[in-house]
């Protein structure tokens, strides 16, 4: 049986270099989540390329997506033996909404040194990690639909920071697909963007729309919970970067992402 992610990122050939898709309401943060929309575009890219893994994908968001039909146009820029690169644009009503450069490869074919100086967050068991009250939603509906599909369990310290604000803009917690669906490399561009924004631990803000999101997929995740650290260090005149690092349950870094986003003022009331 297809998982919700597989169903909601399905693409169907619609012409040379073109695929059609339907954006559902199951991954909303009031509007379709940027990581979800990126994964729909990447589903078409994967059809166009031979390599299995999205090693690095860069998405620039041109406009907000809506529920309903979308089409993805893919141009292959390079077909290499080890790396291939494609350019893709997801459009709705003939307007580009998200545009992507994606370089695919095979993570299992990489060879060379390994040296890691970051440690995953130390967390109590998932059963002891939960939001205090509602998941913060940046002035929109109290519980976004994506919270039914992606299970983010903040550490106790992070849960407190999301209520009190005023702390460092850093979130730590467990992360998995809801219903425990197995996580593959294809899910990671969604999962790096599926928790609340880290700035919610520091400031009372409204929505934090993404301008650009780049994801490095560094490993194929082992089955089980992921651990996440999401951090913002530099907020200047309302613009911020957010870095997310994901570790699998073996302690291996499987994804690193950075996005540029804007902080909007808190919703009135």
Q: List the x/- string, 36-55, binding to a second copy by CB under 8 A.
A: -------------------x
Q: Report residue 173 as tokens.
A: 């917690």
Q: Residue 109 gets which letter from DSSP?
A: G
Residue 192's nearest CA partner among 207, 211, 170, 214 is 214
| Size of the chain in residues | 269
Query: Which residue's CB is nearer to a second copy, number 30 or number 58?
Result: 58
DSSP for 32-48, written as a single string? B-HHHHHHHHHHHHHHH
Q: Which one of 27-35, 37-45, 111-119, 179-187 is the stretch in contact with a second copy (CB under 8 A)? A: 111-119
Query: Which residue's CB is nearer to a second copy, number 87 or number 140?
Result: 87
Shortest separation between residue 143's beta carbon and a second copy, angstroms: 26
Query: Which residue's CB is nearer to a second copy, number 75 or number 142?
Result: 75
CA distance 103 to 87: 9
Q: Which one of 23-31, 147-155, 173-181, 209-217 is the stretch in contact with a second copy (CB under 8 A)? A: 209-217
Cβ contact 75:86 at 8 Å = yes
- 114-146 residues labelled b (16+ CB within 10 A) or e (exposed): eeeeeebbebeeeeebebeeebbbbbeeeebbb
Shortest separation between residue 250's beta carbon and a second copy, angstroms: 12
Q: Which residues bind a second copy (CB under 8 A)?
A: 55-56, 58, 60, 62-63, 77-78, 83, 85, 87, 89, 96, 99-101, 103, 107, 110-118, 168-169, 202-203, 205, 211-212, 214, 216, 218-219, 233-239, 241, 252-253, 256, 258, 260, 262-265
């Amino acid at each position: 049986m297809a998982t919700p992610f597989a169903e909601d990122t399905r693409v169907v050939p619609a012409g040379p270099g073109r695929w059609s898709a339907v954006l559902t309401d199951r991954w909303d943060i009031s509007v379709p989540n940027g990581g979800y929309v990126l994964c729909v575009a990447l589903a078409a890219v994967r059809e166009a390329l031979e390599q299995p893994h999205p090693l690095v994908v860069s998405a620039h968001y041109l406009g907000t997506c809506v529920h309903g039909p979308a089409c993805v146009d893919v141009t292959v820029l390079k077909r290499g033996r080890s790396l291939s690169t494609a350019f893709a644009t997801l459009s709705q009503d003939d307007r580009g909404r998200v545009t992507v450069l994606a370089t695919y490869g095979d993570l299992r074919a990489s060879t060379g040194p390994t040296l890691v100086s970051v440690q995953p967050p130390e967390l109590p068991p998932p059963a002891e990690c939960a939001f205090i009250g509602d998941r913060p939603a940046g002035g929109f509906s109290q519980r976004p639909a994506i919270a039914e599909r992606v299970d983010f369990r903040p550490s106790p310290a992070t849960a407190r920071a999301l209520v009190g604000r005023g702390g460092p803009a850093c979130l730590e917690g467990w992360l998995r697909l809801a219903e425990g669906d197995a996580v593959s490399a294809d899910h990671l561009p969604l999962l790096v963007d599926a928790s609340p924004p880290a700035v919610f631990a520091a400031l009372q803000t409204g929505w934090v729309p993404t301008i650009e999101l780049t994801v490095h997929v560094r490993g194929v995740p082992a089955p089980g919970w992921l651990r996440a650290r999401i951090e913002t260090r530099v907020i200047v005149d309302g613009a911020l970067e957010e870095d997310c690092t994901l570790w699998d349950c073996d302690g291996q870094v499987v994804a690193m992402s950075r996005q540029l986003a804007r902080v909007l003022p808190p919703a009135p009331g």
